[in-house]
Amino acid sequence: MNASATRRFSKTLRSRSVSARCEHREIISEKNPSVNAFVNVSPRPASLRKGPLSGLTIAVKDNIATTTLPTTCSSDMLRDFVSPFDATVIRLLQESGADIIGKTNLDEFGMGSLNVNSIHGPVRNPFDPSSTLEGRSAGGSSGGSAAAVAAGMCNAALGTDTGGSVRLPASYCGVFGLKPSYGLISRWGVVSYADSLDCVGILASELNTMQRVFNSVAKYDSMDPTSAPTEIRLSASNFASKVMSSKGTTLNGLRIGIPQEYFPKEVSPDILDRVRGVVTQLKERGATIIPVSLPSTSYALSAYYVLASAEASSNLARYDGVQYGSYVKPGLDTDKTKTAQIYARSRATGFGPEVQKRILLGTYALSADAFDNYFLQAQRIRQVIKDDFNRIFRIPNYFSDSPCHPNEISPTIDVLLHPSAIRTAPLLTESRSNLNSYVQDVLTVPASLAGLPALSVPIPGPLGNVGGGSSHSWPIGISIVGQWGTDDMVLAIGKALEDLNKT
């Protein structure tokens, strides 16, 4: 790795941690007009509880229910919606003493990879404030949360990750982004996009902050039927800590798998270079690098879009202009004998084009004629992908309904390592016309389908490798993916990588 780039990067990090101590609300009022990360900022609280998160400001994605601020989901349907209850994560943050500083922009209902599908307008990537000629995407759908952290507007932020919505913007904005194991953080109060995939995630500029926030919110919640019971959490984390404590340091003796399918031709060459650099560093610290294969990876993206869209079409049925959203009267020529026609106009008006597209796709996938070939087929693929992962990990999957035992023949691993995205942050102008925006999720959806913990670690870029005349090189992310429930191990490895970057 280029030494001067590393220095420059750590200098950026240091300056950011300085700004973190400043008044975040002032930074928001200064920077938000250009970044557009926040859609609502809370007034400075008169008093806060004392707790493990005392002194931290935390931004919350605007699809997580709050009683004091609206929860718009960046949709016209919920433009004025204020929830009558707080999400469990909000309660936990408040009980831990955090200052919930505001709500952040997102792609409508979490659907998008670039945070451009929003009634609040697109989020602008704050990584390179000097670049005035071009605006780059912060990534999505938790673009506001990632940008808020990257711009130093808060210490940490909550996002949600359905297929990569925390990891992708974290990668584009140069911050840490964790999608925890499915079921570790309560979804009560998180507006559903696709329940079987939705996870509350954490974004932070420092790993210690992320760990503190994670410790406060990863709690069993009886209000969430998919919340993992405490005994399963303990089984998985005990196994992981046994593995970790058997080694001298975090990295020494760590078995890191490099999945060959995660380096498709779409991955840009400079990203490959930087990943190689990190792998070399890890080897030097005593980690064992093992090439592995997850053969079903290529089916993951299509299975993901079928399942996520199907669930979305179901979850978004309530936004019909009668229960939620404004009612738009059907036209005079409408056949009012069909109930559906009464709702069609409201839904065609209240939802943005991307949401409409996914609802239509999902509705089709669930229709009687398509169900077997689309929905059921995608569910089968999802199981095959889970089996792929369960075969290669040293630790068994405690959350799985039918635990798959690791293959005795092939070598097993502790974590996987791969690039978080195929590229760096795209231009906002580019994103509008880019048909390939779905492809950006290709590296993040497998962990979502399998419910595994995945952490995107920011890696500094080399000099002079950015188009558009910018003098900075844009950050990339490297993902550490672990077996279900090994979030603490994944975070510990993230910490080790953070320390490597600082030196």
Instruction: Enumerate the active-site residues.
Output: 61, 141, 165
Judged by CB under 8 A, which of 59, 184, 194, 415 binds another protein?
Answer: 194
List phi, psi (to 5°) of 232: -70, -40
Binding another protein (rule: CB under 8 A), the pick from 113, 137, 192, 390 is 192
190 binds another protein (CB under 8 A): yes
Could you say which of 53, 65, 200, 294 contacts another protein (CB under 8 A)? 65
22 burial (CB, 10 Å; 0-12 / 13-18 / 19+) is exposed
Report CA dihedral (433, 138, 127, 199) to the nearest 10 degrees.
Answer: -150
Out of 220, 263, 371, 438, point to the residue binding another protein (CB under 8 A).
371
Which of 49, 95, 121, 223 forms a contact with another protein (CB under 8 A)?
Answer: 223
CA distance 94 to 67: 13
Is residue 187 close enough to count as binding another protein by CB under 8 A?
Answer: yes
Site for another protein (CB under 8 A): which residue of 3, 46, 47, 84? Answer: 84
Query: Nearest-5° angle of CA 218, CA 224, CA 226?
Result: 85
Q: Which stretch binds another protein (CB under 8 A): 71-79, 128-136, 230-238, 459-467?
A: 71-79
Does the protein bind another protein through residue 138 (CB under 8 A)?
no
Nearer to another protein, 66 or 456 (CB): 66
Q: Which is nearer to another protein, 100 or 175 (CB)?
A: 100
Task: State both tokens at 463.
Answer: 């000099």
Q: Is 188 in the site for another protein (CB under 8 A)?
A: yes
191 binds another protein (CB under 8 A): yes
57 SS3 class:
strand
How many other CB atoms are there within 10 angstroms of residue 177's CB atom? 36
Q: In terms of CB distance, is 262 or 304 closer to another protein?
A: 304
Torsion angle (degrees, nearest 10) of CA 347, 353, 358, 360: 50
Minimum gap (Å) between residue 94 Cβ and another protein: 16
In terms of CB distance, is 361 or 459 closer to another protein? Answer: 361
Q: Which residue has the tokens 């101590």?
A: 21
DSSP codes joined into one string, 107-134: SGGG--SSS-S-TT---B-TT-TT--S-
130, 401, 408, 469: which one binds another protein (CB under 8 A): 401
Q: Which stretch binds another protein (CB under 8 A): 129-137, 273-281, 362-370, 472-480?
A: 362-370
Interaction of residue 58 with another protein, rule CB under 8 A = no
Pair of tokens at residue 318: 């309530």
Per-residue burial over 373-402, b = 16 or more CB atoms within 10 Å of its CB, e = otherwise: ebbebbbebbbebbbbbbbbbbbbbbbbee
Alpha helices (runs of H) in 218-296, residue ranges in sequence order? 230-245, 269-284
Residues that bind another protein (CB under 8 A): 64-65, 71, 73, 78, 81, 83-85, 87, 187-192, 194-196, 222-226, 310-311, 313-314, 317-318, 320, 322-324, 339-340, 342-343, 363, 366-368, 371, 375, 401
